[in-house]
Amino acid sequence: MKQHFWLCEIVGLLTVLALAWGLGAQAPPATDGIPPVVESYYKIAPGKTDEWLELYRKEHLPILKEQKR
């Protein structure tokens, strides 16, 4: 019974080490000068589209334009 217990421990340890080995630090993928794509999603209450669009143009759009520049 002790041999079975030790065998399970060794197999478990080897499994954890194998998984940790694969999770090592990796370099990010090369983008070749292509800027990243950023997507934003907004959930708007029915009937509030005009109010949201006004706030978006006032607050958020200038920030996006500055980031793009």
Q: Look at residue 22 in the predicted model and tell me its pLDDT.
A: 67
Instruction: Establish if 25 belongs to a structural domain.
Output: no
Instruction: Establish if 33 belongs to a structural domain.
Output: no
Provide the domain limits for residue 61.
Answer: 42-69
Rounded mean pLDDT of 2-31?
A: 73
Task: Quote the number of domains for the chain.
Answer: 1
Over residues 20-63, the pLDDT tens digits come to 776 666 677 777 788 778 787 888 899 999 999 999 899 989 98
Instruction: Establish if 69 belongs to a structural domain.
Output: yes
Instruction: Establish if 29 belongs to a structural domain.
Output: no
Instruction: Establish if 63 belongs to a structural domain.
Output: yes
Buried b (16+ CB within 10 A) or exposed e, 14-52: eeeeeeeeeeeeeeeeeeeeeeeeeeeeeeeeeeeeeee
pLDDT band at 8 (very low <50, low <70, confident <90, very high): confident
